[in-house]
Amino acid sequence: MRGRGLLAAKEDLFVVVATVVQVAFLLSRRRPGPWWRVGAAFAVLAFFLGWGFWDDALSGVPRTLLPLALAFNVLAPRTRRGLALLLAGNLTVLSAATVLDVVPCSSDNLPEGVTAEFGAGFYALERSWRRSWRWSSGPASLRLHNPNAEPRRATLEGELISETDRSVTIAAPGARQVVTLPAHRRVSLRFGPFPLPPGDTTVTFDTAEPPWPEPGPGGRALAFSLRQMRLGMTGAGTP
């Protein structure tokens, strides 16, 4: 939730309130049947979610705790008081427009026609409100393509974050940088400038520490997240 502005904080607050209502309802009213057992299990899981989920709650928490939300909506009483309970437990519906506002990776605006292709090790692009990020499963690569006839010099900027303490070594032809990531803390990244000759240039991200297992069914192996990536250009570089 940190540092994203009042509008983004409002979306996160909806998630927090809805999750607290769902968890309190499932754990305070034991009922026989599979819906309660599934919901109660995920209500307990909510207490163990890492900061990576709450750092962008609107994207991470509802996805991970979806069975909790389903069980809550099935079991909530259909009375006048139950209607108020249902509304409180589904406040994230008010953020639906934000969730649907997803822009494909190809629309990222990079200067001078340069394109970026995320290679092995990076997961798909994720977005929430005005933030965008990609998780990696470990060592990963980014291929930049310069379509111009003249070389350039590029600087890669953004943020890195990890659920566990780790170091990430970033390398490109003519440049190398080691970034230390304390757990749960965003670290500003400024890598370069490095030469960007015509054609392809590969930037590698290497980390030796093991990935962190994402909780929940189908959980991914998460090493670090690259957020708000930006690419700056200066004059001619070294071919």
3-state SS class at 228:
strand
Please report which residue ranges of 29-165 form alpha helices under DSSP H.
Answer: 34-45, 51-55, 57-64, 66-75, 80-89, 96-100
Is the torsion defined by CA of 40, 44, 45, 46 positive or negative? positive
Q: Mark whether 15 and 95 lie in a shared domain.
A: yes
Task: Examine residue 74 and state whether it is found in any structural domain, yes or no.
Answer: yes
What pLDDT, in 10s, does the model give residues 183-196? 988 899 999 999 99
Q: Mark whether 40 and 89 lie in a shared domain.
A: yes
Instruction: Quote the number of domains for the chain.
Output: 2
Q: Mark whether 76 and 110 lie in a shared domain.
A: no
The answer to whether the beta carbons of residues 167 and 180 sit under 8 Å apart is yes
Which uninterrupted H or E stretch holds 20? helix 5-28
Question: Which 8-state DSSP code applies to residue 227?
Answer: E
Range of the domain at 192: 105-234
The answer to whether the beta carbons of residues 224 and 168 sit under 8 Å apart is yes
User: Band of the pLDDT at 3, cuts 50, 70, 90?
Assistant: very low
Task: Examine residue 239 and state whether it is found in any structural domain, yes or no.
Answer: no
What pLDDT, in 10s, does the model give residues 28-55? 888 888 999 998 999 898 888 766 555 5
**What average pLDDT score do residues 12-32 get?**
86
Task: Examine residue 155 and state whether it is found in any structural domain, yes or no.
Answer: yes
Task: Examine residue 68 and state whether it is found in any structural domain, yes or no.
Answer: yes
Q: Mark whether 67 and 156 lie in a shared domain.
A: no
State the pTM of this model. Answer: 0.57
Q: Mark whether 207 and 137 lie in a shared domain.
A: yes
Task: Tell me how far apart the alpha carbons of residues 104 and 118 are, in angstroms, rounded to a whole number.
Answer: 13
Q: Mark whether 194 and 222 lie in a shared domain.
A: yes
Domain end (from 52, 79, 100): 100
Closest CA to 89 of 15, 22, 16: 22
Q: Mark whether 115 and 73 lie in a shared domain.
A: no
Q: Mark whether 64 and 86 lie in a shared domain.
A: yes
Q: Identify the pLDDT of residue 216.
A: 78
Task: Tell me how far apart the alpha carbons of residues 1 and 81 are, in angstroms, rounded to a whole number.
Answer: 31
Q: Mark whether 91 and 139 lie in a shared domain.
A: no
pLDDT above 90 (res 6): no
